[in-house]
Structure 1
């Protein structure tokens, strides 16, 4: 049975729902409410890590995505309430405004997808971007909305976390072309956000590339929750479905540099070329730094 036929069968089992909401929404609701372990063999036969087959539902993925987008949207919305002097230039403020507009669109998208899946929306979390949990502990970023450089560091942390989180979740929705495309498109936009924030930081003197690199000046403290957003990014062996690895140490890319690069230099570029996926638990931990 191919996937289109499966969707048709799921929709046809309830003619009333088919009339009211349409086959696409009905199918999404039925798939979202079941873990992938109970899906038909046509879905579970796809190459997935063991965790993908028994622990995450579509609604789990959508709820995580929505919280991350609500977090980023609230962050940029609050920043835009600051005076122009906070941003330094009209160009900086315009860039943040564009990013915030995208984040609101993402919130709307995942809200709609969750409703279509039959989920009951939970209240949006309360955010404190100083990291003080509404004053209950020492602030991690006390000047986040008075020092633009601090703001950009937090923005980089949030965007980098979001990019990795999307990559870590796509395996759980790969059986649904519509959801997969929605997530991958959102991932692409978030990656551009991360790159632009990093470019803004570099223009202000920070040592940072437009992508995650071991040569970046750290923005987190080793061993902290925030540092988990970058753990594993230095990997030389890249992850593939089924826990297979691409061993670049043994199969280096063609060395076309002049003069030729050393093996260590090539491997450093390999590590930079791939974003590693981030597990939902870790992404939630990082996000929770700003939720109370």
Structure 2
């Protein structure tokens, strides 16, 4: 990520001299005050490492096909809930139903966009798979979520799972689009939308009494079992080490002057905040395995 590269360069500025410390503090302060508008100026004055090689073990079309599968999954999930004959009772309130309807519209738009991108690339558009959101593979195995469309709280748990997986999957595919700024920008916008969906679903769950934050946090009440296939959706999310593609470890707990509270946080508390701050990527194989939980 470019953000991590920026932090790595800031960390490289010498902390041993007044001349080295001041630019780093100034750059971080300016970034905190003005946000993205100052990023180009800040990056321009920092030392630049040699260009890193771009991994090429996935094609752009592979990325688009994976994204379309995940968007098919989410779009169909919300569509089936909205089509329930007892939808009014299932959602419990007009506000709940309207929120899900809004998310469903977004997912449908994502499907149409990805289909169009594949068509314009001259590629075959994969057909929408058959989905069983109980996880029973159309009754051929024990259901993972047997009350998915009769218990709104179960529905929201699975919605959170799907949205969190989508976020991590998009993040895992970004590296394969670095040479195509148009597609990179498109998928980053989809990633941002999925992030808002996840935050809203999590907020809805919290309003119904679930112990969960609006972002992935180690203190969230577990909705998967560690080591299971669904558990892969959250494996590694408690990671406190962040690396640049080089790879280079970003020293959040030492060099970077980000622990400026009074009193200052302990190293452990600071790294716990770092774990909250980053959505960790998952690769295509893991994303596909998670999607296959609901495909038959």
Q: Quick check: TM above 0.5?
A: yes
Which residue pairs with 2:60 in the alignment?
58
Aligned match of 2:100: 96
Partner of 1:238: 242
- Name the counterpart of 1:217: 221
What TM-score comes out, normalization by structure 1 length?
0.81
- Alpha-carbon shift at residue 266 of structure 1 (Å): 1.1
Q: Which residue of 1 aligns with 2:284?
A: 280
Alignment match, 1:146: 150
1:72 paired with 2:48, answer no
C-alpha distance in structure 1 between counterparts of 2:177 and 2:258, whole Å: 34
Larger relative contact order (Cα-Cα within 8 Å, sequence gap ≥ 6): 2
- Matched position secondary structure for 2:294: coil
Query: CA contact under 8 A between 2:159 and 2:201: conserved in structure 1?
Result: yes
- 1:47 correspondence with 2:49: no
1:151-202 Cα distance to aligned partner (Å, 9 max, x none): 0000000000000100100110111111001000000000000000000000
Give the drift of 1:247. 3.2
Segments of 5+ residues of structure 1 without an aligned counterpart are: 1-44
Residues in 2 aligned to 1:217 and 1:266: alpha-carbon distance in whole angstroms? 22
In structure 1, distance between residues paired with 2:78 and 2:53: 35
Is the aligned partner of 1:193 residue 2:197? yes
Q: CA deviation at 1:252?
A: 5.6
More off after superposition, 95-104 vs 79-88? 79-88
Q: How does 1:123-134 map onto structure 2 within 5 Å?
A: 123-134=127-138
Q: How many angstroms apart in 2 are the aligned matches of 1:59 and 1:216?
A: 35
Q: Is the 8 A contact 2:253 2:270 kept in 1?
A: no
The root-mean-square deviation of aligned C-alpha atoms, in Å, is 1.5
**Aligned mates of 2:256, 2:266 — CA distance in 1:** 11
> TM-score, structure 2 length as denominator?
0.80
Offset, 1:48 = 4.3
1:173 aligned onto 2:177: yes
- Report the 3-state secondary structure (helix = DSSP H, G, I; strand = E; otherwise coil) of the residue aligned with 1:122: coil
1:242 Cα deviation from its structure 2 partner? 3.0
SS of 2:110 mapped into structure 1: helix
Structure 1 residue 254 corresponds to structure 2 residue 224: no
Cα separation, 2, equivalents of 1:92 and 1:130:
21
In 1, distance between residues paired with 2:183 and 2:64?
9
Alpha-carbon distance between aligned partners in 1 of 2:254 and 2:53, rounded to the nearest angstrom: 25
Tell me, yes or no, if the aligned pair for 2:172 and 2:281 is still in contact at 8 Å: yes
Local SS of the residue matching 2:106 = helix
Q: Within 2, Cα distance between the matches of 1:46 and 1:103?
A: 36
Counterpart of 1:112? Answer: 116
Distance 2:79 2:155 in 1: 12
- Give deviations 1:225-261, integer Å, cap 9, x for gaps: 1111111111111132233331324336533334432
Measure, in 2, the Cα distance between the counterparts of 1:98 and 1:207: 24
Counterpart in the other structure of 2:28: none
